Amino acid sequence: MSLREYDRKRRFDTTPEPRSEGSAAQGGRPIFVVQLHHASRRHYDFRLQVGDTLKSWACPKGPSYDPNVKRLAVEVEDHPISYAKFQGDIPAGAYGGGHVDTFDSGVWSTPYDPEAQLEKGHLRFELFGTRLKGSWHLVRSGKPAKQPQWFLMHDKDAYASDVEADDLLDARMIASTRAAAGRSGGAKEVAATLDTRKRKKVPAAGHHASKAGKLAAAAEGAKKAKASAGFFAPELAILRENPPSGEQWLHEVKWDGYRILATVAKGQVELWSRNGLSWSDKIPDIRQAIESLGLDSARFDGELIALSADGQADFNALQKTLSGEANAPLAYMLFDLPFLEGYDLSRTPLHARKGILEALLQDPPAHLSYSTHVVGNGDQVFAMACAQKLEGILSKRVDSGYRAGRGDDWLKIKRVESDEFAVVGYTAPKGGRQGFGALLLAKPAAEGGWHFMGQVGSGFSHRQLLDLSRTLATGGGSKPTVRNPEDAPRGVKWIEPTAVAEVNHRGIGNQGLLRQPSLKTMRADKTPADLRDSDRATPTPAAPRPRASARKRSAGKAAAPAGIAITHPERVVYPTDGYTKQDVVNYYRTVMDWFLPGVIDRPTSIIRYPDGIDKPSFFQKHIPSGGLKYVGSVKLKEETGAAAIYLYPQSAESVMELVQYGTLEFHPWGARVATPDLADRVVFDLDPGPDVSWERVVAAARLVRKLLADLELESFLRTTGGKGLHVVVPLNPPSDWATVKQFAQGFAGALAGIHPMEFVAVSTKSIRHQKIFVDYLRNGRGATAVASYSLRGRPGAPVAVPLRWEELGKIKSGAQFDIHSLPARLKRLRKDPWAGIDELEQSLDKVIGKLGGA
């Protein structure tokens, strides 16, 4: 519906409602307003700004915080933005005649395109008002009606409760309802209900921080102090080219956003920019999130970012959201806590302050997130940040206090991109500068011609300025030589592109122009025609690494190994499913040719279920005192220094002997018995926490694969038979366990540091809610991971199954394959999904060397 419909229904010579003409959005974040409308039938008008209009719905009973309640919302004509401020009386007899009160107003956000969602009939959004908060849904009804009918519902979030809109009316709104009752009999029943209704308050989000307050009181260097709501000067970082080395430094992601400081005094939250300007009204979502922590006093330091639909930081989206051009959710990435609950922590070591902050944010409200860090491994963290095209990292001394201004305790290491551009113009010099001010840059446009990309005025030597002013930045005219001259500054001189400049920059900004460009060099060896040829060329993919042919495998039922007698084959092992011990035996016989290469000659821990999976199980890694006939044994030194006899499968008979003794699960080392101190596997176990969708696990696996590929490491994929996935990196030649563990820990920590809203690298269950645990602990001497094609002791008899990466999009869960479906899958396969894994040549030596030189 357009605003013409709004104008058609009203006579502006009699109604005080605003005209649509001249009512465009004035900039700033998209707003919402809910108005209590005493028309012929009392209702609430629910309005969301989408573009330059207010999308509007009439909601007879008003919004409810109860997720189980669906409130009818009838779509009506769009309203102008100026209607958000309208209150008063619409004349009787006019369209919508009756009194209008503002029930609530504020800003709103959505992670997805609002118009596309409305078109599909399901809008997911958040409200940041005084009375209405949290996550909501508008879902279109499938029933035909004169006016489109929707349902307004609150999500199951921290604000969910039994509070209704009528519970939140103030005295003025109740008086308006009574007045309306006097004019219209239809409102009398509502007015009587309001008189007897027990008043309720806006639900609280329910986050509290008593534990963190106690930690602050006991922290080293903590000092009792009076809280202040005023601005405090932030600590600033010094720019460096490379990250420092050593365990005395921790490394964080340098978030691409706006620095924000937060103060809490007597429960009141104020937000500040780094130069002391108030941002409290600009980002009410962040203010409300901090309020929900229930703190009396605090100081926070962090970065405001915007989140894309896939949960990644997006600087352009942040700029557009704050200006009103977009509506992305915002997040406050907290990395320091110099004051908490009456204690000055500025003299407390950084690692201790961050520990208190992490405890405070163990179960954070929406829009707040702890910015994690990695101690040591700075080169690896920086390399991963560069691979992800993040802005860079911050390196901080782990034992430093919090000091205003710049110092050498905080260092910033920025990722620099470089690209080549045609020079299409120049600006005049200013001040005492000689030659020219800046060179105008352009890239080939897809439709032909050139597209203006910005200007570069720094990085020139004095000689370059003089030389280029004589040879390049001379002459020219006012006729643009690019397709988008409106993006260029005024008063420039345009020239035909004849030269190429290579420029360092920090990515592309909001207007499609280079951010922080600086000249790297003038490319005398190239012409603008080279850029056009390069832009049009299709890159040739790198040739795959050579692989040895995979051995042929038979998916048919293998013959029973001689000498293995199966006792009690009728015993039920999976009670819910009815699978017996004989079914388990048949399974392992069938898959033996596929299963055996993953466990043969590897120290292996087994899990035995002699009485079925509903009875006690037994974890075993040592050869029993009576010995086994077919299972191999090897003496290995344990962490305590003592030696023990470990078991390992050395043949199909070994496997079946262990199955006879009730074994369901096989968990081998990432090393072989001949070289137990050298690892030939690195395993990253992606273990999703509660409420993590399978789609996110899939995306996580693909991201891990990409990051490993950026380090020139090929990886393989396996379902776990549980909730997650394994990403496995073969090593040939193998590496010592110390190197493997250091790499795995650094990789996992860097991944969690770069994507703290998606991953954690610690096993603490309390902080794994809605996140994926990147378990790197399977990469130490003696650690194990489930074998490919191993059964799991869980209902349904699921199996851990190797996959081709191309199959991942078709997989629905980590337990998709089971004792029944897996053999059928193997019959269809033409070759092993992990064909060539043992012949692939790659090692960590090159990777560690590369990171060391990053």
Catalytic center residues? 254
SS3 335: strand
Which two structure tokens, joined as six digits, stand for 461?
A: 């030597």
**Interatomic CA distance for residues 55 and 77, integer angstroms:** 7
Instruction: Give which of 440, 443, 451 is closest to 531, Cα–Cα.
Output: 443
**Interatomic CA distance for residues 17 and 37, integer angstroms:** 13
The backbone region for 28, taken as left when phi is positive above 0, alpha when psi lies in -120 to 50, beta otherwise, is: left
Helical segments of 229-312, H only: 284-291
**Interatomic CA distance for residues 164 and 170, integer angstroms:** 13
**Interatomic CA distance for residues 736 and 671, integer angstroms:** 10
Task: Count CA atoms within 13 Å of residue 138 on its CB side.
Answer: 27
- Is residue 358 exposed (0-12), middle (13-18) or buried (19+ Cβ within 10 Å)? buried
What does each C-alpha distance from 108 to 46, 87, 129, 477, 577 come to in angstroms?
A: 12, 21, 8, 47, 49
Q: Are 184 and 40 in contact (CB under 8 A)?
A: yes
Instruction: Give which of 28, 34, 27 is closest to 54, Cα–Cα.
Output: 34
Strands (E), 475-620: 493-494, 500-505, 518-522, 572-574, 579-580, 604-608, 618-620
Residues 6+ apart with CB under 8 A from 722: 792, 794, 798, 814, 815
One-letter identity of residue 544 = P
- Is residue 375 exposed (0-12), middle (13-18) or buried (19+ Cβ within 10 Å)? middle
The backbone region for 96, taken as left when phi is positive above 0, alpha when psi lies in -120 to 50, beta otherwise, is: left
What does each C-alpha distance from 600 to 443, 579, 623, 658, 668 come to in angstroms?
A: 57, 26, 16, 13, 9
Sheet holding 725-736, edge to edge: 759-760, 772-775, 678-688, 725-736, 716-719, 802-803
What does each C-alpha distance from 510 to 79, 98, 323, 325, 408 come to in angstroms?
A: 29, 45, 11, 11, 32
Instruction: Give which of 305, 213, 295, 300 is closest to 262, Cα–Cα.
Output: 300
Q: Are 394 and 411 in contact (CB under 8 A)?
A: yes
**Interatomic CA distance for residues 626 and 170, integer angstroms:** 80
Distance of CA 372 to the CA centre of its chain: 13
Task: Count CA atoms within 13 Å of residue 232 on its CB side.
Answer: 24
Q: Are 808 and 701 in contact (CB under 8 A)?
A: yes
